[in-house]
Chains A and B, each alone.
Chain A
Amino acid sequence: MNEHDKIRALLSLAAAEVLEPSEEKQLMDHLRTCDSCGAELEKWKLLAGGLRRLPTPQPRSIVVERARAQAQIRLTEEIEHRWNRTVIIGLLVFAWILTLLSWPLVRLFTGGLLGMLDPRFNHAWIVFGVFTTTVWLAGGAAAVLLSTQQRRERRLA
């Protein structure tokens, strides 16, 4: 392929204004000496101009308003969903902290301050920890499942 053919292949893209600077320079250099490519480029530019000036079809106003209403409802649901999730996570964290704090307090008032400093985990601590973890994990899983189910029902509705 000689230079003339290469430039020919670039003309449509030149009309679309997507050439690289180096390609543009190459094209401009060639156009100075080639009238035929200049005329061809003009035709491509006219076609490109025609595409740019095609009339814009418009959606019916009822469709736009329906889309607006539905999207706003969906956005409201999404916001509500995010808020509910944040509240659930906050409550879980709060409950965890409260639970973990309650046991040392009980120890403080029943076993005395020195009892708290005992590094050994006794049987009651382990049972308490396992029980609490299981309960809160089950609660968290239930909350997630409930939320997913509600979300699916809302979509189906």
Chain B
Amino acid sequence: MLYSRREILLVLAAAGVCRAQELGGMASRGVKPQPRGKPSGLPFHARFTDIAARAGLRHPVIYGPPDRMDYILESMGCGVAFLDYDNDGWLDIFLLSGTRREGPVEGATNRLYKNNRDGTFTDVTQAAGLLRQGWACGVTVADYNNDGFEDLFITAWPQNILYRNNGDGTFTDVTQAAGLLHLGNRWGTGCTWVDYDRDGRLDLFVSNYLVFDFDKIPPTGKDPRCNFKGVPVNCGPRGLVPERPMLYHNNGDGTFTDVTERSGIGAVTPGFGLTAVAADLDSDGWQEIYVACDSTPSMLFHNRGDGTFAERGMQSGLAVNEDGNEQAGMGVAIGDFDTDGRLGVLKTHFCEDTVALYRNVGRLDFDDVTVRSGLGVETRYVSWGNGIVDLDNDGLPDLFWVTGSVFPEVEQKHPEFAHKTPRVLFRNLGGGRFEELLDAAGPAIAEPHTSRGVAFGDFDNDGDIDILIMNINEPPSLLRNDLVGGAHWLKVKLVGTRSNLSAVGAVVIAAYGGRRQAQAVLAASGYLSCGDKRLHFGLGEASTVDLEIAWPSGSREQLKGVRADQLVTVKEGAGIIRQERFGA
């Protein structure tokens, strides 16, 4: 229920300073959850089990002290990635890591795990040359130099890092050589590869959160204004200085040029930028860049097609919620949840607020359909990495996100604001409605953690989507999807020729069973994370599917009657070049 302005003023006046400080530095609206309707009673065929320990993912992801979050940097956590760094057709895992202010922590490093193709992974971090301790935040994965191997760009405080994949199982830090070292300290957060000028080379977009300095920001308890529900907590983001995002143009020779100003990206009012995602949201063949901003209006950079962008967040409806209130944007998922052939958006926020689900109505115009979709029932958790993914292969993309508090101190006084909280899964009922599944999708959904990044991908190549999750100061979770029911599916791997080799920015529309579902090849999504670039379509009962592919170069391709239950590799201009049946 929204208060009128007068009522808000009265509340403020009545409650005085206590009420005014109640929400700390985060945008939250005190939203009460909508009532839950009667359960649909429909079976959900996906069931998730956390097999991380069994799979060999046992190292905790260090991020700040084990029991406190004195600084906002310690509370924000980091992303994760599914990638295939050795091109063996099996998804490997890359986990970012933080550290502790007090000093280096043994074993706290970004980690690369190679997929052993038997449900387990081997830590190859050292051999790959990726050992590194620091405050890593986001990751974007793609082949920026078109040499056939996926590279890694990592945002971090105080300096970002570019790792080139050498193609022999090792990586080289080429940040300086690429011209990506920046002066001074900066807190890079969201990042995504994007071929914004369609020259076939992946450029790089980086969002920055805020100006951070351990010595200049008061820690928890040292500033009475930094307070949540009457409990002293870490300060920010409100009250701290927001930063602008940056855009780097790929020169094609291994170096990049800062085009932030020239492209118009630098003209934006600074905001507390977090996850950045690039996708062609208006279907004009040029990729937009959307940035979830924390407690400031989120930004949508409309690609004008001439090397410049115009910030159109407000005009598109993606900056704020339907009543014009800014929200604490954390994670962004892009997907076609209403199977109308257009890419919609799911953005996660703080507790006592809903997530935001935006329906794409065309011409870069989005409707906030959060409440009417049934998502208003869940407002309990601080929400982070997310996805619009068909978890049960019924042909209707579901919604998933992870949660976890940023204020561990609060739960002692207010147990309802727990530090560790469960995952959230809304199954798609069709007709624009969703239903939250509290315990119908396996024990791993209800398990409480303080989670941040999430990546989606089929790590065991069994035709369904599994989930990789970053948990602060715990080992990650790897949720294996044990799907039953026999619904059909199709995976599509794209290889660019005129386009960038990773085909980042391509959009595939799959037509099946009377539906048209769009998916984009993304180099980043969720919260500061990156998922499987093989597009996965659940098909329900449909056994064939027609595909329309819009390549980032501008070329288009159609494939009719593609059989279900396989991975097809499509090369730009050459059609299907490979078909694989998993397990065969």
Q: Are the chains A and B members of one assembly?
A: no
Interface residues of A (CB under 8 A from B): none
B-to-A contact residues, CB < 8 Å: none
